[in-house]
């Protein structure tokens, strides 16, 4: 009986955790397209007052949130350090 309860509890936890894990990986791919051929600064927060923590090359494809915050999109970086990119300089290529 204890085994059945344990298996049922584990299955319930798995079902609850699965949507949260899937939601964490949702995002969009963007192509970097500033109005001039140059790198796009990736900042530590959503605005020019935040430090530059990296850059993305012109026409490079990057992953980020599908929603913007004040004209900025939270993006991922190859080294795992997330940052923020200016949304008008990004062209969404997939969802």
pTM score over 0.75: no
Report the pLDDT averaged over residues 51-66: 94
Which of the following CATH numbers is that of domain 27-94: 1.10.3720.10, 2.30.30.40, 3.30.1330.10, 3.40.50.2300? 2.30.30.40
Please count the CA atoms within 13 angstroms of the CA of 48 that sit on its side-chain side.
Answer: 1
User: Is the pLDDT score of 2 beyond 60?
Assistant: no
Give the model's pLDDT for residue 25.
Answer: 58
User: Is the pLDDT score of 24 beyond 60?
Assistant: no
The residues facing 86 across adjacent strands are 72
Give the model's pLDDT for residue 79.
Answer: 58
3-state SS, 67-82, equals EEECCEEEECCCCCCC
């Amino acid at each position: 009986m204890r085994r059945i309860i344990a298996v049922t509890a584990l299955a319930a936890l798995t079902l609850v955790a699965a949507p949260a894990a899937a939601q964490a990986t949702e995002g969009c791919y963007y192509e970097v397209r500033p109005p001039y051929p140059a790198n796009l600064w990736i900042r530590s927060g959503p605005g020019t007052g935040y430090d530059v923590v990296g850059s993305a090359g012109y026409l490079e494809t990057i992953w980020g949130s599908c929603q913007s915050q004040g004209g900025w999109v939270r993006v991922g970086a190859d080294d795992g350090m997330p940052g923020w990119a200016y949304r008008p300089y990004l062209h969404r290529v997939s969802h």
